[in-house]
Amino acid sequence: MERFTNIDRLSLNQITTNSWSLREAAEGCVRAEIPWIALWRNKVEEAGLAESKRIVRDAGLKVSSLCRGGMFPAATAAERAARIDDNRRAIDEAAELEAEVLVLVCGPAPDRDIDGARQMVEDAIHELVPYAQERGVTLGIEPLHPMYAAERSVISTLAQATTIAERFTPQQVGVVVDVFHVWWDPELYKQIARASGRILGFHVSDWIVPTPDMLLGRGMMGDGVIELNRIRQAVEAAGYRGPIEVEIFNQAIWDRPGDEVLAEMKARYLEHV
Amino acid sequence: MERFTNIDRLSLNQITTNSWSLREAAEGCVRAEIPWIALWRNKVEEAGLAESKRIVRDAGLKVSSLCRGGMFPAATAAERAARIDDNRRAIDEAAELEAEVLVLVCGPAPDRDIDGARQMVEDAIHELVPYAQERGVTLGIEPLHPMYAAERSVISTLAQATTIAERFTPQQVGVVVDVFHVWWDPELYKQIARASGRILGFHVSDWIVPTPDMLLGRGMMGDGVIELNRIRQAVEAAGYRGPIEVEIFNQAIWDRPGDEVLAEMKARYLEHV
């Protein structure tokens, strides 16, 4: 199947070069001529919001997403309210940085009640939508791999994420498809088609075998078993033509020189995505 | 919700006491008055099939399942045929040991084509059913957690397993529900209800947080976040009243004295399942 012939849609998700500061990542993208960047809130905080905005603008980069809002379920009403407040700050930051989407990693249950936690996620998104809309920020629900259900997200499938998103307009809430999280799903292609018009982001990496680590075991595109090009074609058939983020949690990649990682990332993107 | 007041349905899955031989496990069950045991083929082979049968019979144990058949997808027709042959031997062993069910762990794809591998699984089960039926052996498809999709099973959800099982009679093919593999599934209770009359086994353990290891990170019931009793009630509402296997892959538990593990397992079963 057809591969890309340029990197116009390629975005560096900052986590892939986690040892770099925001300024270093922006400069790396300029050297590598990568047009998009996805920012992480901790890196933005480190540099300062105004300075982060200046760095990105001066580098001529577009911001594909801000990572991340979410983490909604909590044991008490007070703690849930504190998390809503933090998400309002994330929305403000996404607006200021002109990010295409604020990615939501929805959070685990505070106890054994997974259905209750899923309800808390829905309630929180309902509460945030007016605030986000006023600031022109779209919320992107990212389903996480089921192996993170107990520690990071009770939203584990694209079907779940789309069901929540469908309660809102596509300008308010959509979904983010990350191949690492969804590649195994027997419903994947059906659910991508269902999410048509609601896909706000597409993240690539690979699932390596054997998997070295649950959190830091993601691979560079082409090093694993994910049908990257097939999923990309499906996402495009569902109307998504936006930036494609390379988002890799992997200590071995973090330990390599950033410029080398970016060079490999570009080559693998053209070859495999 | 109601808990058990006796251990009539409790079964020791041999992997939980992986450092024990079949004879040691059988003797351990007798000492602990556990009425059921689930056998692993490697342990049966170690003791010899006839001797294994004798040990189990002399101990007065019932065999809840034989673990495991499956591993169907392969790159070549010759290799797929070899695996079918191996599954025929597994069926013979299950018949000889009078196991209630032969558990199928269906296997990973030999390449990136996960749909193709899923088709190979279906084709292989079709091929095996007449052989199993002649020998009075029922095949139980066990969906494995999606984190094992690349290394152990392309059958990742109860929905998938039930869809395959429904092509056969309940006497030929059913499903095995293991809480560790399915607890995260937003469709879980709907799919358990759908599998009504087709559930051939119920396995318990727990999902501990943080998860220490992808393979050997299962916990003892009560040590994690799984709603064990809720799932048990759902499985019973779907008609399952058979043995309940405790199946724990965990090095720390394997390193403990088996009798101690069995005592704890009994207590936790009564308290949490």
Paired tokens of A182: 């969804």
Q: Tell me the sheet residues that pair with B218.
A: B207
Q: Which helix (H) or strand (E) holds A36?
A: strand A36-40
Select the residue of A111, A149, A207 nearest B184 (Cβ to Cβ).
Answer: A149
CA B217 → CA A5, A87, A217, B156, B214, distances in Å? 43, 33, 16, 18, 6
A77 to chain B, minimum CA–CA distance in Å?
21
B209 to chain A, minimum CA–CA distance in Å?
7
A190 to chain B, minimum CA–CA distance in Å?
13
Q: What are phi and psi of B31, to 5 degrees?
A: -60, -40
B146 to chain A, minimum CA–CA distance in Å?
6
Select the residue of B114, B156, B210 nearest A151 (Cβ to Cβ).
Answer: B210
3-state secondary structure of B117: helix
Euclidean distance between the first and the last CA atom of chain B, given in angstroms as a whole number: 10
Task: Report the C-alpha gap between A26 and A154 in whole angstroms.
Answer: 33
Chain A residues with CB-CB distance to B209 below 8 A: 108, 150-151
Candidates A131, A140, A111; CA nearest to A202 is A140
Q: Report whether A236 contacts A194 (CB < 8 A).
A: no
- pLDDT given for residue A244 in this prediction: 98
Which residues of B lie closer than 8 Å to A, measured between beta carbons? Answer: 108-109, 111-114, 118, 145-147, 149-151, 156-157, 159-160, 183-186, 207, 209-211, 214, 224-227
Chain B residues with CB-CB distance to A161 below 8 A: none
Q: Report whether A164 contacts A193 (CB < 8 A).
A: no
A48 to chain B, minimum CA–CA distance in Å?
32
- pLDDT given for residue A195 in this prediction: 98
The alpha helices in chain A, defined as continuous H runs, are 22-32, 41-47, 49-59, 77-96, 114-134, 158-165, 179-182, 188-194, 228-237, 251-254, 258-272
Beta strands in B106-259 (DSSP E): 139-141, 173-178, 199-204, 206-207, 218-219, 244-246
Task: Quote the ipTM score.
Answer: 0.96
Does B184 contact A226 at a Cβ distance shorter than 8 Å?
A: no
β-pairing verdict for A218-219 and A206-207: antiparallel
Select the residue of A147, A184, A225 nearest B112 (Cβ to Cβ).
Answer: A225
- pLDDT given for residue A159 in this prediction: 98
Candidates B234, B259, B262, B236; CA nearest to B248 is B262
Q: Which residues of chain A have pLDDT under 70?
A: 1
DSSP collapsed to 3 states, A48-92 = CHHHHHHHHHHHCCEEEEEEEEECCCCCCHHHHHHHHHHHHHHHH
Select the residue of B111, B114, B151 nearest A210 (Cβ to Cβ).
Answer: B151
- pLDDT given for residue B53 in this prediction: 98
Select the residue of B150, B186, B207 nearest A150 (Cβ to Cβ).
Answer: B207
Chain A residues with CB-CB distance to B210 below 8 A: 151
Does A210 contact B112 at a Cβ distance shorter than 8 Å?
A: no
Does B226 contact A112 at a Cβ distance shorter than 8 Å?
A: yes
Q: Angle at Cα A121 formed by Cα A117 and Cα A123, nearest 5°? A: 110
- pLDDT given for residue A135 in this prediction: 98
Candidates A145, A52, A147, A131; CA nearest to A91 is A131
CA A85 → CA A71, A78, A89, distances in Å? 12, 11, 6
pLDDT along chain B (273 residues), means of 10: 94 98 98 98 98 98 98 98 98 97 98 98 98 98 98 98 98 98 98 98 98 94 98 98 98 97 98 98
Does A114 contact B183 at a Cβ distance shorter than 8 Å?
A: yes
Round the CA-based radius of gyration of chain B to a whole number and report it: 17
B226 to chain A, minimum CA–CA distance in Å?
6
Does A150 contact B224 at a Cβ distance shorter than 8 Å?
A: yes
What's the pTM value of the predicted model, to 2 decimals? 0.97
- pLDDT given for residue B41 in this prediction: 98
Select the residue of A146, A207, A227 nearest B145 (Cβ to Cβ).
Answer: A146
Contacts of B259 (CB under 8 A, 6+ apart): B28, B31, B32
3-state secondary structure of B68: strand
- pLDDT given for residue B85 in this prediction: 98
Chain A residues with CB-CB distance to B145 below 8 A: 146-147
Does A186 contact B224 at a Cβ distance shorter than 8 Å?
A: no
